[in-house]
Amino acid sequence: MATTRTDPDAMPWAPATEIFGAAARHDGKPILELKTLSDRRGEGGGVAYLLKATPPAGKLIKIVAVARSDEHVFALSGGRSNKSGKPVAAPGGYALNPEGQPHSAMIADESVSLVVYAGEPDAVKSVEIVDIEASPGDP
């Protein structure tokens, strides 16, 4: 098999409807977007994406899913947050959600991640836009 090469900078972002369905948009704007770097599912392999999450101002995106295959996530910019919008994972962070693992993410700032699935992408259970909660001690 030949090497697959892709220039992500030359690729446009597209709404991530393949994974998130209609929830990839909020108020008519894309909030979850993809660049498909490679897709070898037709040959029994996996798929690699750049995933961009852009929450509406003052809100966060809450995603709940179950891994249908091993999911490797490497944060390139931004990262996960808590309900107060405070970062809990920084760029450069890595996570593995093994096949069958229920998991979630809350994203309060624009984030880009490299997401590699060993097979099929997650079974997404829900995507919600929620208010950022004030944390104790915040004015």
Any idea where the domains of the chain sit in the sequence? Answer: 14-131
CA separation, residue 113 to residues 71, 74, 97, 122, 136 (Å)? 12, 5, 14, 15, 30
Fold of 14-131: Jelly Rolls (2.60.120)
pLDDT score for 80 = 87
Which positions ≥6 away from 35 have C-beta within 8 Å?
8, 11, 12, 13, 14, 49, 50
Say whether pLDDT at 136 is over 70: no
Mean pLDDT estimate for the chain:
93
Of the candidates 31, 106, 25, 104, the residue with the CA atom closest to the CA atom of residue 71? 104
Tens digit of pLDDT for each residue in 36-51? 999 999 999 999 999 9
Q: Looking at residues 28-34, what average pLDDT do you find? A: 97
Read off the pLDDT band of 92 (50, 70, 90).
confident
